[in-house]
Structure 1
Amino acid sequence: MAENEDGTEKSEEPSEKKLREAREKGQVPRSRELTTLLMTLGAAVFLYFFGAQMMQDFETLFVKGLSFDRSHAYDFEMATNLILGLVVHSIYMIVPFLLLMVLIAVVSPMLLGGWNFSTQALAPKISKLNPVSGIKKMFSMNALMELFKAFAKFTLVSVVAGFFLWYSYEEIISIGIEPPKQALAHAGQLIVEAFIFVSLSLIVIAAIDVPFQVHQHVTQLKMTKQEVKEEHKQQEGSPEVKGRIRQLQREMSQKRMMQKVPEADVVITNPTHFAVALKYAPDEMAEPMVLALGSDFMAAQIRTLAKEHNIPLIEAPPLARALYYNAEVDRPIPYELFRAVAAILAYVYQLRDGKRADRVDFDNLPIPEEMKTDEVPGGSE
């Protein structure tokens, strides 16, 4: 089980955030054995299909290079042109092979861990110069695994090469009695076949190394329980910060709400504990809207603003409580309270127009039984 430097156990799987940060730092699983396998196998396959043609081309180059007339020997410019031509021709011959090797070297690491380019990984680190850290790495599990892989590769390649030599012993001996040209071609064929067999043997090493590298990568990034808690706290925010944010949001909401009180047509009160400001504009809205509501201190502020702007204050305790517990700011009043609110609005409009208002029993308005309550707030909002 992985441990921190302070001895705490890393028992938790790495989070998405930890994996993402590691990737940004260039820490992704990589297998050099997989790259080695694909490069040697790619080279072997290329030589198997195109090796004979390359040998013929090189033979032609050798013949041209060793066959020249007297003029080339005594003319520096002609000799230079001949040599340069042979060099350029040889480069053209090996370019496809080199491009294949470069392509495999670039693509093969992406098979494990995907494409990743990190500038942080390129930055110099003073910690890498620490001799103590270097000694620790020499005796780490990763170093032991590298030693094991090196020994396994040596053993495996030796066994496969020895088996191939034993199996092809008679062919190898027969090369000595073949004509030179045929012997060279035959020797080249055997070398390529041996290369393929040795390359295939590396599949065993790669098959062990790939899972190990993935496991090692995950193990190195494992987290302690405390680190997981700290990460959750950072992502979600501490309770104090979240509480402060909620408080600010509530204060801003209350401020916007209080700014709308002067637009109200009426404020219905408890009269002490609750206050609800309502507005109804038949040309703009289908039903009365709640502009503001509050209890205790907030209710007192609503009543104060209403008095300052000459907005009628109606004491209707049952309706005030029903609206406070069932209505929402900036939303229409509940459908069940339409009749009760309509009676109050009609009363207010009559007073506003200077008419004689009909008597309204504010304590016995038509309020559904399920909306009636005697509950009062326990504190200020």
Structure 2
Amino acid sequence: MAETDQERSELPTGKRLQQAREKGQIPRSRELGTAAVLLSACFALLMLKETLAGALIKVFKTGFSLQRDQVFDPYAMGDLLATLLRQMMAPLGLLFLLVALAAFAGNILMGGFNFSSEAMAPKFSKLNPLSGLKRMFGVQSLVELIKSIAKVLFIALFAWWLLSSQFEHLMNLSFEGFPGGVIDALELLLWMVVVLCCSLLPIVAIDVPFQQWNHMRQLKMTKQEVKDEFRDSEGKPEVKGRIRRLQMEMANRRMMVDVPKADVVITNPSHYSVALKYDPKQPKAAPKVVAKGVDEVAMKIREIAREYQIPVLPAPALTRAIYHSTELGREIPEGLFAAVAQVLAYVYQLRAFRRGKGQRPRPLAPDLPIPDELRR
């Protein structure tokens, strides 16, 4: 096999991507999940700061306001702890809920939700120390180490810049009184944490496309793998050909059953045959093609038509036009209504003549009205 066939140069097919998904191999960005959790926690604190502060004040007041009998009661502390937990449960529960939702959304934002039982199955190969050392000192581990060092350096530089820009404000906090200084310090600290968490956004903007590219790179296929997958999914050509022939034979047999129901069979005597059926009880309906074919199939249609005494009329141009423009079981196009109407009128007059109820009809006109766009 050629060397080029062994190179993984082809993008993964849909089947390969689906198989990887079933194995739990989907692109994920840990940086995206981390940024979602930290930013959601910061903004949740900003939204709930007054509620949390009020609950904390209640906790402190309740915790430090003890009666003399409570001090000597061994069960009082347990009851007091339950009271304090109830006071903090609502704001902290809402905070944890918002963070949990952000963590879930941040982790499925890239790659979507995926449950893989195969990925959950234990793999004893991961217990092999040699495999573990290979993963620890492999190229992927080196890349992750470099990414971690770069991330720490970037965040550290950003934090140094943030502290430098707020240094004067931080120093002035010591001149503020109580409780204004504490509130100002907490407000400043919270917004500094929000800005510091926002420093993760450039890292996320780099990591997300990298993880997507790396995932597609790992799933790339060789040309031979693409050919093998196509052959496995589509089947061998000889088998497909055999199936197609059987399908055509079955379709032809079903079609031949409808030939005796036709009103007329028009032909191009050398190749084509088309059987038409019209139901006058349905005024809005148009003539339908109940059978059509070329060569041997066309000859078989004519043979059945003669057996059931269905008129067989030569109309080469009209036959070719209907054959190429109308699918089996469909109504003929509007542009052929006039030509087919003349054919059906001739057939009805011929039936009446054979029953002795009319004169012999004139021969069918050789130049039936067929639009140029439907001529073949």
Mapped contact 1:267–1:278 kept (Cα < 8 A) = yes
Q: CA RMSD in A?
A: 5.2
Distance 1:22 1:260 in 2: 49
Q: 1:160 maps to what in 2?
A: 158
**What is the rounded CA distance, in whole Å, between the counterparts of 2:5 and 2:218 in structure 1?**
14
Change (3 A) 1:135 1:349: farther
Change (3 A) 1:336 1:68: closer
CA distance in 2 between partners of 1:234 and 1:150 (Å): 43
- Aligned 1:122-133 pairs, distance under 5 A: 123-126=120-123, 129=126, 131=128, 133=131
Alignment: residue pair count: 355
CA–CA separation in structure 2 for the residues paired with 1:197 and 1:59: 27
Deviation at 1:34, TM superposition (A): 1.7
Is residue 39–residue 101 contact of structure 1 (8 Å, CA) maintained in 2? yes
8 Å CA contact 1:160, 1:197 repeated in 2: no
Partner in structure 2 of residue 219 of structure 1: 217
Residue 186 (structure 1) shift: 4.4
Look up the match of 1:148: 146
Task: Answer whether contact 2:272 2:293 (CA < 8 A) is retained.
Answer: yes
Aligned partner of 2:100 in structure 1 is: 102
1:70 deviates by: 0.9
1:164-183 aligned at under 5 Å gives the runs: 164-173=162-171, 181-182=179-180
164 and 45 in structure 1: CA distance in 2 versus 1, 3 angstrom threshold: same
Q: 2:273 touches 2:299 (CA, 8 Å); kept in 1?
A: no
The aligned counterpart of 1:374 is: none
After superposition, the C-alpha distances for 1:224-255 in whole angstroms (9 at most, x for unaligned) are 22233334445554322321122112322343
- Give, as a single letter, the amino acid of the residue that structure 1 aligns with 2:189: I
Equivalent-residue separation in structure 2 for 1:348 and 1:172 (angstroms): 108
Distance 2:302 2:165 in 1: 104
Q: Which moved more, 1:83-92 or 1:69-78?
A: 69-78
- 1:62 corresponds in structure 2 to 60
Offset at 1:85? 0.5
CA contact (8 A) 2:277 2:290 kept: no
CA distance in 1, matches of 2:317, 2:221: 52
Q: Is 2:45 aligned against 1:39?
A: no
Question: Aligned to 1:116, which of 113, 137, 148?
Answer: 113
Shift of 1:40: 1.6
Q: Is the 8 A contact 2:273 2:302 kept in 1?
A: no
Do the aligned partners of 1:276 and 1:290 also contact (CA within 8 Å) in 2?
A: no
How far residue 212 of structure 1 moved from its aligned partner, in angstroms, is 0.8
Q: Which amino acid aligns with 1:118?
A: F
Pick aligned residue for 1:30 from 28, 31, 40: 28
SS of the residue corresponding to residue 253 of structure 2 reads: helix
Residue of structure 1 in register with 2:8 after alignment: 10
CA distance in 2, matches of 1:289, 1:194: 77
Between Structure 1 and Structure 2, whose CA radius of gyration is higher?
Answer: 1
Identical aligned pairs, as a percentage? 34
Cross-structure match for 1:3? none
Structure 2 counterpart of 1:63, which letter? K
2:187 aligned residue:
189
SS across alignment from 2:216: helix
Q: Which residue identity is paired with 2:95? A: F
Once residues 183 and 348 of structure 1 are traced to their aligned partners in structure 2, the CA distance between those partners, rounded to angstroms, is 109
CA displacement at 1:337 relative to structure 2: 12
Contact 1:11–1:225 at 8 Å: present in 2 too? Answer: yes
Cα displacement (A) at 1:367: 7.4
SS of residue paired to 2:156: helix
> Which residue is 1:72 aligned to?
70
Cα distance in 2 for partners of 1:58, 1:44 equals: 18
Give 1:150 deviation, angstroms: 1.8
| Map of 2:370 onto structure 1 | none
| C-alpha spacing 1:179/1:225, structure 2 compared with 1 (3 Å) | same
1:81 aligns with 2:90: no
Distance 1:204 1:351, change over 3 A: closer
1:117 partner amino acid: N
5+ unaligned residues in a row in structure 1: which ranges? 1-5, 358-364, 369-381
Deviations 1:122-165 (A, max 9, x none): 54142662535544433444433322232123222322333444
| AA at the equivalent of 1:198 | L
The answer (yes or no) to whether the contact 1:274–1:321 under 8 Å persists in 2 is no
- Equivalent residue for 2:245, pick from 244, 247, 271: 247
Structure 2 counterpart SS, 1:143? helix
Q: Post-superposition shift, 1:65?
A: 0.9
